[in-house]
Amino acid sequence: MFTWPINLLVIFAITTPLVYTLGVKASIKKLVDVWAVIGFILSAISFYPLYLKVSSEKVLIHYWVGIQFRGVALFEIDMLSIFMAGLFIFIGLLTAIYSTRYMEHDTRHGEYYALLLLMVSGMVGVAFAGDFFTLFIFWEVMCLTSYVLVAFRKEQWEPIEAGFKYLVMSSAGSATMLFAMSILYGIVGSLNFAYMHKALSESVTPWSMISLALIVVGFGVKAAVTPFHTWLPDAHPAAPSSISAMLSGVVIKTGVYGLIRVMMLLFTPESYHWHTAIAILAVLSMTTGNLMALLQSDLKRLLAFSSIGHIGYIIFGLSIATVYGLTGSLFHVLNHALGKALLFLCSGAFLLAAGTRDLNQLAGIGRKMKITGFTFIVGSLALAGVPPLNGFQSEFMLVLAGLQVGASRNLWYLFSALMLINILFSVGYYLRIIQVVTLHEPSESVSRVKEAPKPMLFSMVLIAILCILIGIYPGPFVNLANQAAQSVLSVESFVKLIIH
């Protein structure tokens, strides 16, 4: 079967509707909520032995069908997979805890938690996949559940519209990826990453270039890299805030993970020279994201646009393709996931208390909800890259890596400069939302709001503490990101486990 973290998530996802029915029958409130949280906790616990095993063996191979069949249907788990999967499960756990109070005015909790658990299991599966067959199955599990979760509040018009747009664009991206996979299968004759690395790095043909382009489009749609980002600012605000935190925090990172894995392993930078193209996409993403975010008056829409900007920073790290650049990139994946999840959870708390997402009506709400307001400030400053917080560390690393590589590839001086300008832009709108939310006099619509309930506060405060902790003491986290980056670059150890 699929290693324990995924097994547990799937088992709990399947049993969730039963538990929900049981809870309704026995009229125990919150039974299903607790059940889902237990699922995430158990999955996180079972994740730890896997981490220990991988950190000692470097790469772990696991055939999930039980037999070896031409290198298909296997997990190939290295430090990058562990890094990403750990992040997914952690944010999933915090989101589930948050949802226990946030979703209590909604119905259909059984479906909600089943979908949430399945979505996380899909993401973990994508991170573990060692061939395109596995990757595609888990990818689609993740996509399908996220479509339904975006359109979860089906009685309103906005989630339905945004969900349909998201579904059409994202499944067109998936189909493009599938097309690329079929071409790669034609070139290589296998779906395994190791065989593909061998065949593709030996000879660069027009067909492999086409499949590279198609696969960048496929993953780029999910990661919301700029020309393919248009679904994101609609879909992320329309979802329930807990799901927005998942989508903006980790689901788009799955696309980034796919890009990193495929570009570094299959289409190696030495043979394919994609640096400049990816860097241009990165700069485009950050510019569009940050400029558009300046213009928004809807809080969640602003945050969604800033996600595009941050994806730009992360992709910029990939375009550098050195250990230092990838470390910065992966470290920023961690920091952005924490920061953006925190901001979306805070905006959810505001939404629940005041019933609006409009910035003008939310003015001064931070004064009424002191703890939420404080965590909101921490999250905004962290993402803006203000020194003692975590965002600064990774953004600094990325710019530094860009300048370092500029010595050999001069264009990167320009790209780094553009990234610096973008960071300054982003400070503009983060300071604006902080000013509106916490410094203005409370407006009429927020005059009677109360502090958010405890489980919601727990998630937010925990992430805020982590933001500060990583900012002050980044050592172990950078180390983890560094190990992940090194495992990305040590392609040979990944390949020789399959091809002896």
Angle in degrees, 0-180, between the axes of helices 31-57 and 109-128, rounded to the nearest 10: 10
Residue 234 touches other proteins, criterion: CB under 8 A: yes
Interface with other proteins (CB under 8 A), residue from 29, 157, 227, 414: 157
Give every CB contact of residue 105 below 8 A, 6+ residues apart in sequence: none
Is residue 176 part of the contact set for other proteins (CB under 8 A)?
yes
Going 149 to 152 to 156 to 157, the CA torsion angle's sign is positive
Round to whole Å and give the CA distance between 488 and 266. 11
Which of 21, 49, 57, 70 is the binder for other proteins (CB under 8 A)? Answer: 70
Among 49, 186, 227, 428, binds other proteins (CB under 8 A): 186
Min dist CB 164 to other proteins, Å, is: 5
Q: How far apart are alpha carbons 126 and 129 in whole angstroms?
A: 5
- The answer to whether residue 183 forms part of the interface with other proteins (CB under 8 A) is yes
User: What would the x/- binding string for other proteins be over residues 243 to 262, using CB under 8 A?
Assistant: --------------------
Closest approach, Cβ 232 to other proteins, in A, equals 13
Q: Where are the beta strands (DSSP E) in 266-358?
A: none
Of 423-442, which residues contact other proteins (CB under 8 A)?
none
Among 52, 158, 295, 424, binds other proteins (CB under 8 A): 158
Task: Select from 111-119, 188-196, 358-366, 432-440 the region that touches other proteins (CB under 8 A).
Answer: 188-196
Ramachandran angles phi, psi of 499, nearest 5°: -100, 110
What gap in Å lies between CA 408 and CA 258, rounded to an integer?
A: 27
With helix as H, strand as E and coil as C, how does 350-383 read? HHHHHCCCECCCCCCHHHHCHHHHHHHHHHHHHH
Query: Residue 124 class from Cβ within 10 Å (0-12 exposed, 13-18 middle, 19+ buried)?
Result: buried
Site for other proteins in 104-143 (CB under 8 A): 133, 136-137, 140, 143
- Footprint on residues 309-348 left by other proteins (CB under 8 A): none
Which listed range, 165-173, 259-267, 338-346, 431-439, lies at the site for other proteins (CB under 8 A)? 165-173
72 binds other proteins (CB under 8 A): yes
- Measured distance CA(397)–CA(474) in Å, rounded: 12
Residue with tokens 């226990």: 100
Residue 165 near other proteins by CB under 8 A: yes
In angstroms, rounded to a whole number, what is the distance separating the alpha carbons of residues 332 and 390? 9
Residues contacting other proteins: total by CB under 8 A = 39
Angle among Cα 358, 360, 362 to the nearest 5 degrees reads 70
Q: Which is nearer to other proteins, 178 or 371 (CB)?
A: 178
Rule CB under 8 A: say whether 395 interacts with other proteins: no
Tell me the sheet residues that pair with 72.
69
Site membership for other proteins, residue 298 (CB under 8 A): no
Neighbours of 453 (CB within 10 A): 16
Binder among 19, 144, 304, 308 for other proteins (CB under 8 A): 144
Residues of this chain that bind other proteins (CB under 8 A): 70, 72, 133, 136-137, 140, 143-144, 147-148, 151, 154, 157-158, 160-165, 167-168, 171-172, 174-176, 178-179, 181-183, 185-186, 189-191, 230, 234
